[in-house]
């Protein structure tokens, strides 16, 4: 089960960042504007 937990800890933040970026709060986009 440790392998599953490790996968979850890696995938969860990645999916969250991708979803957050698509929601219009892309931090990288704000950085490029400066």
The DSSP symbol for 26 reads -
The predicted model scores a pTM of: 0.42
Angle at 33 between CA 28 and CA 34, to 5 degrees: 100
Give residue 11's domain range. 2-33
Q: What is the DSSP letter of 24?
A: I
Count of domains observed in the chain: 1
Do the beta carbons of residue 9 and residue 16 sit within 8 Å? no
Q: Is 1 helix (H, G, I), strand (E, B) or coil?
A: coil
Predicted pLDDT at 19: 80
* pLDDT digit string, tens, across residues 1-34: 799 999 999 999 888 888 877 765 555 556 555 5
pLDDT of residue 32: 57
């Amino acid at each position: 089960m440790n392998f599953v937990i490790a996968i979850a800890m890696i995938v969860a933040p990645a999916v969250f960042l991708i979803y957050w970026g698509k929601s219009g709060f892309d931090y990288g986009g704000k950085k490029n504007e400066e």
